[in-house]
Amino acid sequence: MSRTADDAAFGEAGEPADAVPTGTAAPIDAEPWTDFATARWWHATDDGRLECDLCPRRCRLHPSQRGFCFVRARDGDRLVLTTYGRSSGFAIDPIEKKPLAHFHPGTSVLSFGTAGCNLNCRFCQNWDISKSREWDRLAAPATPSAIANAAASAGCASVAFTYNDPVIFAEYAIDTARACHELGLNAVAVTAGYITPEARPDFFAPMDAANIDLKGFTEDFYRKVTGSHLADVLDTIAWVHSNTDTWIELTTLLIPGHNDAPEEIARMCAWILAELGPDVPLHFSAFHPDFKMLDVPPTPPAALRAARAAALDAGLHFVYTGNVHDPGGETTACPACGHALIERDWYEILAYRLTADGRCPSCGAALPGRFGPAVGEWGRLSLPISIA
């Protein structure tokens, strides 16, 4: 289904339903080292436009137009990804910062993103990257193999596609994930899950783990605040859980007065329990004023703790708080006996009591997730790096 006139409200004022006007975009001129990659998911329509099949917006492009995400563009009779091989920067982070609590705790992950986004979140906390229209934001060229080699040389266990949504640079992310696997590294997607059923299998197949944003639990919130649709995200989450081996965790940024109502949190937890079961970790993160929501106050720590308590009472086994100092909300406890298995403080592992095969030493229950024979020792450091 293509975007309708009603969907034009998703973009900035003056944007047409189908694409950003050519006049607002940089020219589609391939640099000698990149030769813009042909996009994978698109088809020609009867009226001569090219329709992108990657995300539910399904932008239809006339010659030289860009999609809503800004980085997928029509070049002659093909659709191209203009950010393939170009990054907005690299950093080595703790895996807990993605956030992933049950995926090789304590290890380091090489994180990078590109530019652009297929959502229009009014609260975006990486808006300088996701809303970038300047190519100087992409001043760090790197091939998939160069990224994988840099991660391996730095001792990272994984590479994460993050900062902006990897769905819109899917071809680049997939190729990098494959290069990582050749070196024994993991691939991690940090995504809003706004992707079509056609593209899901290819995108998630090489992803070892994913943190998927569940930004709220009403269509009204998704439409007015993120410019997208809740149903598409729920479909993605349920599909990944049922059809892949990708380890998934969910994150909800609690925004005061917008998605933090107790009844909304209760409905969300009931859906997670019914569709995914009790063992998919859920992270409640604190909002801080940013981008177009500078008038909204920060999330009180007490609100995060209350949401966590409600989710645990609803039957979810693993619920965490983030963006606040809350060691209790960062602790992983055995759901069978309550024994504290992993204690954390600002992403740093303070205590790790799992057995070598990932079990509780007190009762022998297996902890769901992906755990190696030993905990990592990266700590809380975030380290910007460059890749030549």
Burial state string for 298-327 with b = 16 or more CB within 10 A and e = fewer than 16 = ebeeebbbbbbebbbebebbbbbbbbbebe
Q: Which residue has the tokens 């590109």?
A: 114
pLDDT band at 36 (very low <50, low <70, confident <90, very high): confident
pLDDT > 60? residue 22: no
Q: How far apart are CA 138 and CA 26, in angstroms?
A: 13
> Do residues 252 and 287 make contact, with C-beta atoms less than 8 angstroms apart?
no
Strand pairing partners for 368?
Answer: none
pLDDT band at 304 (very low <50, low <70, confident <90, very high): very high
pLDDT > 70? residue 119: yes
The mean pLDDT value for 85-110 works out to 95
pLDDT of residue 122: 87
Give residue-wise pLDDT tens across range 69-86.
Answer: 999 999 999 999 999 998
pLDDT of residue 388: 67
The mean pLDDT value for 227-248 works out to 98
Domain 87-385 indexed as CATH 3.40.50.300: no
The mean pLDDT value for 359-373 works out to 95
pLDDT of residue 28: 46
DSSP code per residue over 256-325: TTTT--HHHHHHHHHHHHHHT-TTS-EEEEE----TT-TTSPPPPHHHHHHHHHHHHHHT-S-EEEESS-
pLDDT band at 328 (very low <50, low <70, confident <90, very high): very high
Residue 160's SS3 state is strand
pLDDT band at 2 (very low <50, low <70, confident <90, very high): very low
pLDDT of residue 380: 93
pLDDT > 70? residue 9: no
When the pLDDT of each residue in the chain is averaged and rounded to a whole number, the result is 88
Of 280, 354, 273, which Cα lies nearest the Cα of 314? 273
Q: In the structure encoding, which two tokens stand for residue 102, read together?
A: 């049950």
pLDDT of residue 19: 39
Q: How far apart are CA 272 and CA 221, in angstroms?
A: 18
pLDDT of residue 105: 97
pLDDT of residue 124: 81
The radius of gyration computed from the CA coordinates of the chain, to the nearest angstrom, equals 21
pLDDT band at 139 (very low <50, low <70, confident <90, very high): low
Give residue-wise pLDDT tens across range 149-179.
Answer: 999 999 999 999 999 999 999 999 999 999 9
Give residue-wise pLDDT tens across range 272-297.
Answer: 999 999 999 999 999 988 777 899 99
The mean pLDDT value for 31-49 works out to 81
pLDDT of residue 125: 74
pLDDT band at 129 (very low <50, low <70, confident <90, very high): low
pLDDT of residue 132: 53
Sheet order of strands, 72-75 included: 37-38, 78-81, 72-75
pLDDT of residue 14: 29
Strand pairing partners for 79?
Answer: 74
Strand pairing partners for 81?
Answer: 37, 72
- Lowest-pLDDT range of 23-37, 148-162, 299-313: 23-37
In the chain, ranges of CATH 3.20.20.70 domains: 87-385
Q: In the structure encoding, which two tokens stand for residue 165, read together?
A: 């949504």
pTM: 0.90
pLDDT > 70? residue 43: yes
Q: What angle do CA 376, 351, 328 make, to 5 degrees?
A: 115
pLDDT of residue 25: 41
The mean pLDDT value for 326-347 works out to 96
